[in-house]
Amino acid sequence: MSEEYVKLISSDGFEFVLRKDIACISGTIKAILNEGVFAEAQNNECTFPDIRGSLLEKVCEYLHYNYRYKNQQDVPKFDIPPEMVLELLVTAEYLDT
Amino acid sequence: MARGSRVRGPNSALTEFLRSQGINTSALGRARPPNPESTEQTNQGSGTEINGTVDSPISEETPLIETTTVQVQSSRRPGGRSVKKKKKPIEEDDDDHNISFGFHRAGFSYKSRENAGKLDFCVHCQCRFTITPYSKYSEKENGWLCYPCSRGAEEQQVPEIHTRKRRAMTRKKAAAATMDEELNVPKLQDICIRIIAEYIHDVEALGDIGQLNMDKISQIISKNRSLDDTTVQLFLTGDQTELRLYDCSRLTDGALLQIAQYCPRLHTLHLTFCGQMKDEVFNLYSEKLTELKDLSINGAFLVSTNTWISFLKKRGLQLTELEITDTAKVHSSVINAIVDYCPNLVTLTLSRIFYMDDECVRLLSGCKNLTTLRIESPGQTVTDGSVLDVLNQIGSGLQTLSLAGCSKLSDEVLKQGIGPCCGRLRNLDLSGLSELTDDEAASMFGSWNIQSGLETLSLRRCLGLGDRTLRAVLVNSGQSLSSLDLNGLSYITSDSLHYLAKFPLPRLQTLDVSWIRDMNDKLVCEFEENKPALAKLLVWGNNHVLMPTKRLLLIGREVQ
């Protein structure tokens, strides 16, 4: 079950494939994918018409960073270029991450 | 010095001892080629459990994972030189040369002298050079390196060696992280906010981020002391209803004026450390902030008495929550005004008011609708009489009561005030009431039948209280308590602590047992097992609490 993969699709058509358990670190994504009735849950796919590819990529990068360094000390800094930090904050709030 | 020579000179007492114990210190802090001979030797190492990491790829960490005996030796190196510079490794060929000298004896051991002076070809650049005691041996390329190449190799190889200082730094960081409760990987939002706070001077308008995050940003910026006239613009958007600025010390009165000008619709305004606030600003607030319901002004020491009174006259009717702290200009006239002009007041907090005295407190009995009353650290003496007056009048409506820092209060307040009057009380803060006695407090809590159990209780630094009070509190409020603060009650004995551990406290989330001498590891374990809801345990100054916990957040543990 842990090797299931899901696809996140951005507004400009970029597709990101990642493991389901890592994607579900985001509360919103978890809620979308676990709701059995929705088409997203059936296909294991999630489309975000408001999120650009570059932002979604950074989010995926963060999800992996979170998974990798969970409960550890000496966690390295997660870099974000300042140009995207504002939108990323809004996106992060939307995705509950 | 022929190889394999059985002739040995005099050794120090230490080496003799080690050899007699069979302790092989050859792997001590020395990075060397993982040749099979050294592996053999360490495997034969008698009596000491040397980890098999000598031959592992993580050879750099060997010094850290040695046995205690070996570590003792390593820590005794004079000058505490850290294990950084890799000296030429000793080539172990047989058991006889078990004991090697500490390598800060600048390579003057037998071993390095064996090769010294020999001509060799650098394995990296193929140049010819003479091996000295300082030459490096490259594990990767299995050969000696000339001086320039060894310099290059050293830069690459930077080993993650944990010197004592490093370890202390890591522990400090971990302790700081525990204190700030930042244990896990931070959320992406938090990381973003942090970066925004760093770049704040370059950010113009943030747009719509949501009220909760605006508050978080406000907290971070205040923490960074970056809140000033420029950065405050971020928060003045116009249709805001809540504004909390946690550090206004750098905001000039011009900026404070802007708050009223740009955000007239505020119904919640909390300003902390607003030392630059002057009368004109406050007057403007009373004009413009027509919807203000919740006001908290901390540290506005320049605002004069009359300005307070005129503000209360104008805006008092709509105020439901008011907090004033740290000012010497609030006299009984202002308190009078509060009582007269704020009939709808539900929450009142007056902390560190310089002229707070009995007269002021007595006046407060006129606030009939209060459910939360906090009189903390008054500047003048507040005695039982006035507090009893207040409690007799409005005590029955109070859900939260704090008398923290009113140190002159005695048991009478409990016996005749809180006990008989405060039937609806959920949160009680008696910090610093050092004159309370154990017996009286115990009997008050024991016979406190009119109320149904406290949710938070703080008996911080009520130095007179002890076992009996604790037991009475548990019996009274055990079912409902979610936060209990027993900081400083050193008279509590281990019997009572065991009783506390066994007592069912289903809702308890935070417990502070700092500075209680009898607190120890066993009790911490018991807490961890028996209290399913307990999440945070504070153990400052508990010398006998040494072990970390698995589930609980343990704050304040001493670490060697």
SS3 per-residue string spanning chain A: CCCCEEEEECCCCCEEEEEHHHHCCCHHHHHHHHCCCCHHHHHCEEECCCCCHHHHHHHHHHHHHHHHCCCCCCCCCCCCCHHHHHHHHHHHHHHCC
CATH (domain of A70): 3.30.710.10
pTM, rounded to two decimals: 0.63
Q: How many CB atoms lie within 10 A of CB A52?
A: 16
Query: What is the structure's pLDDT at B209?
Result: 55
Distance CA A8, CA A56 (A): 8
Specify the amino acid at residue B499.
Y
- The tokens of B474 are what? 């548990």
Collect all residues of chain A within an 8 Å Cβ-Cβ radius of residue B220: none
Query: For residue B164, what is the DSSP state?
Result: H
β-bridge pairing B372-376 and B400-402: parallel
Largest CA distance in chain B: 103
Residue reference for tokens 């550090």: B247
Where is B345: in which H helix or E strand?
none
Q: Are B461 and B491 in contact (CB under 8 A)?
A: no
Residues of chain B contacting residue A50, judged by C-beta atoms under 8 Å apart: none
Q: What is the DSSP letter of B286?
A: H
Cα B524–chain centre separation: 19
Query: Which residues in chain A have their CB less than 8 angstroms from residue B210's CB?
Result: 93
The tally of CA atoms less than 13 A away on the side-chain side of residue B477 is 26
B-chain residues near A86 (CB < 8 A): 192, 196, 203, 206-207, 209
Say how far apart CA B334 and CA B342 lie, in whole Å.
11
Closest approach of B254 to chain A, Cα-based (Å): 28
Which is it for strands B456-458 and B483-485: parallel, antiparallel or unpaired?
parallel
- Of residues A32 and B319, the one with the higher pLDDT is B319
C-alpha B87: how far from its chain's center? 41
Exposed e or buried b per residue across B438-470, where buried means at least 16 C-beta atoms within 10 angstroms of its C-beta: bebbbbbbbebeebeebbbbbbbbbbbbbbbbb
| A88·B192 Cβ contact <8 A | yes
Measured CA to CA, the distance from residue A8 to residue A29 in angstroms comes to: 9
- pLDDT at position B143 is 78
Among B173, B192, B207, the residue with its CB nearest the CB of A85 is B192
To 10 degrees, what angle do helices B521-530 and B494-502 make?
20
Q: Which of A75, A85, A89 lies closest to B185 in CB terms?
A: A75
Cα(B478)–Cα(B481) distance, integer angstroms = 6
The Cα–Cα gap between B382 and B72 comes to 59
Going by pLDDT thresholds of 50, 70 and 90, the confidence category of residue A59 is very high
Radius of gyration of chain B (CA): 34
CA–CA dist B240, B263 (Å, integer):
6
Neighbours of B473 (CB within 10 A): 25
Q: Does B164 touch chain A (CB under 8 A)?
A: no
Q: Which residue has the tokens 């130095």?
A: B463
Q: Which residues contact B349 (CB under 8 A, 6 or more apart)?
A: B296, B322, B323, B324, B325, B372, B374, B376, B402
> Are A71 and B170 in contact (CB < 8 Å)?
no
Q: What is the pLDDT of residue B111?
A: 56
B chain contacts of residue A74, beta-carbon cutoff 8 Å: 170, 173
Alpha carbons B229 and B255: distance in angstroms, whole number: 6
Name residues whose C-beta falls within 8 Å of residue B231's C-beta, 6 or more positions apart in sequence. Answer: B200, B201, B221
A9 or B181: whose pLDDT is higher? A9
Tokens 């040369």 correspond to what residue? B97
Cite the DSSP H helix spans in B83-207: 110-115, 147-157, 164-179, 188-198
Look at residue B540 in the predicted model and tell me its pLDDT. 94
Pick the residue with more confidence: A10 or B105?
A10
Quick one: pLDDT at residue B560? 65
pLDDT value of position B101: 40
Of B188, B193, B210, the CB nearest to A62: B188
Dist CA B415 CA B439 (whole Å): 11
Give me the pLDDT at residue B433, please: 94
Interface test with A, best of B162, B178, B185, B188 (most A CBs within 10 A): B188
Residues B199, B205, B208: CA angle, nearest 5 degrees: 110
Distance CA B118, CA B128 (A): 10
Residue span of the structural domain in which A79 resides: 5-95
Residue B500 at interface with chain A, using a CB cutoff of 8 Å: no
The Cα B362–Cα B25 span in angstroms is 77
Query: What H or E segment, with its residue span, contains residue B288?
Result: helix B279-288
Asked if B225 and B198 touch (Cβ cutoff 8 Å), the reply is: no
Q: How many CB atoms lie within 10 A of CB B526?
A: 15
Nearest one of B340, B366, B338 to B350, comparing CA atoms: B338
From B176, which residue of chain A is nearest by alpha-carbon distance? A73
Number of Cβ pairs closer than 8 Å across A and B? Answer: 60
Alpha helices in B22-146 (DSSP H): 36-44, 68-75, 110-115
Q: Which residue of A has its CA nearest to B211?
A: A93
Average pLDDT over residues A46-61: 93
Chain A residues lying within 8 Å of B189, measured CB to CB: 89, 92-93, 97
> How far does the CA of residue A9 sit from the closest CA of chain B (Å)?
20
Query: Which residues of chain A have a CB within 8 Å of the CB of B187?
Result: 92, 97
The pLDDT value given to residue B550: 79
**What phi, psi does B345 have (nearest 5°)?**
-70, 130
Question: Quick one: which of B329, B400, B330, B392 has its CA closest to B366?
Answer: B392
Note whether B196 contacts A: Cβ–Cβ < 8 A. Answer: yes
Are the C-beta atoms of residues B365 and B389 closer than 8 Å to each other? Answer: yes
How many distinct structural domains can be found in chain A?
1
**Parallel/antiparallel/unpaired status of strands A5-9 and A15-19:** antiparallel
Whole-angstrom CA distances from B516 to B505, B538, B540 are 20, 11, 9
**What string of pLDDT tens digits covers the 560 residues of chain B?**
555 677 778 888 888 888 888 887 776 655 555 554 444 444 443 434 334 333 434 434 444 443 444 334 444 444 434 444 444 444 444 444 444 444 445 445 555 555 667 888 888 788 888 888 777 777 777 778 788 877 776 655 555 555 777 777 777 777 776 666 566 788 888 888 778 777 766 655 444 556 666 787 788 778 777 788 877 877 887 788 899 999 999 999 899 999 999 889 999 999 999 999 999 999 999 999 999 999 999 999 999 999 999 999 999 999 999 999 999 999 999 999 999 999 999 999 999 999 999 999 999 999 999 999 999 999 999 999 999 999 999 999 999 999 999 999 999 999 999 999 999 999 999 999 999 999 999 999 999 988 888 999 999 999 999 999 999 999 999 999 999 999 999 999 999 999 999 999 999 999 999 999 999 999 999 999 999 899 999 999 999 998 888 788 888 888 76
pLDDT of residue A75: 86
Q: Which of B170, B199, B206 sits opposite A73 (nearest CB)?
A: B170
